[in-house]
Structure 1
Amino acid sequence: MPRSMKNDNFIDKSFTVMADLILKLMPGVSSDQKKAFAYYRDGMAAQGDGEYAEALDNYKEALALEEGEEDRSYILYNMGLIYQSNGEIDKALEHYQQALELNPRLCSALNNIAVLLHHRGEASLEAGDEEAAEALFDEAAQYWIRAIRIAPNNYIEAQNWLKITGRANLEVY
């Protein structure tokens, strides 16, 4: 039984029923697209419940069926979130990069890559490798700059860090 059918939350059940009804009534939506949406929805529900293995299984099924690049980018992004939560940083970065290849304006993926690179920079700095740290910080800065250019009112802490470290003169307003 799909996860969405197991949920005891009235609001979640109502959303699921409405989403299924809308999907059934939409003309021009293929059977595979409908299945992909169902897997994606179940993946999000499992992810919300902390059931990451189940969520990944659903996302993989959705990815195999989904044809739309933007929708695929969000599936890959959510997979990246799970890998990041599990401490699998290389896999997370790989999935965020794949999401960006499909949707270069996905700010949250740009931000998450920057955060992970910045964290690696901090670790390199603590290990005494200043050259590696500076390279990672510079790379993080480039991702934050891209995100800020797309969404200038977001990522205020990143904007402050960029200004304080002299890595960017952002005139986004």
Structure 2
Amino acid sequence: MPRTQKNDNFIDKSFTVMADLILKLLPANKKAKEAFVYYRDGMSAQTEGEYAEALENYEEALKLEEDPNDCGYILYNMGLIYASNGERDKALDLYHKAIESNPRLPQALNNIAVILHYEGEQAKQLGEEERGEALFDQAADYWVRAIRMAPNNYIEAQNWLKTTGRMEIDIFF
């Protein structure tokens, strides 16, 4: 059964109806519209925690999608799934591909930084001070890039960057 027929609540049904209307009215080719349907179904499945189904839909959307910016969002959402499942390496790979496809995704830069920071903490707990600091420095580089794109976001990261001396206080203001 297509995901559009599974939505039980009012908000999901409303979203589906609106998305279908927009899809019909969009001046896009059939392939782009089909990619959007897979993407929409992937987002719906992801919201419900149906990650395998979401990934299947995102894979299909990627096969059809020609717009690099849209591909970036698809790859980013796939990265979210892998990160939530603890598959950090796969998530990092997908976030990097998302940025290659769509360089204006500060959320992907942030998520890379979060993973690198986590791995830095893990390294330090294992007594690997140098490796931990190197991972922190990498995380800082990604956070600075994300903050430059979205200066009002990532306040905790900005505070961490300032308190660790990895960012000048007024760099973004």
For structure 1, the 5+ residue unaligned runs are none
Corresponding residue for 2:30?
Answer: 31
Spell out the pairing of 1:88-99 with structure 2 (5 A cutoff): 88-99=87-98
**Which structure 1 residue ranges, 4+ long, deviate > 3 Å from structure 2?**
none
Correspondence for 2:48: 49
* CA distance in structure 2 between the partners assigned to 1:81 and 1:4 by the alignment: 22
Counting matched residue pairs gives 172
CA distance in 2, matches of 1:76, 1:18: 24
Per-residue Cα deviation, 1:64-97 (whole angstroms, up to 9, x for no partner): 0000011000000000000001111000000000
Residue 9 of structure 2 corresponds to: 9
Structure 2 equivalent of residue 129 of structure 1: 128
- 2-structure distance, mates of 1:26, 1:120: 43
Unaligned 5+ segments in structure 2 are none
Separation in 2 of the partners of 1:31 and 1:72? 17
CA RMSD of aligned residues (A): 0.9
Q: Is the 8 A contact 1:3 1:42 kept in 2?
A: yes
Contact (CA 8 Å) 1:4, 1:41: kept in 2 or not? no
The share of aligned pairs that are identical, in percent, is 69
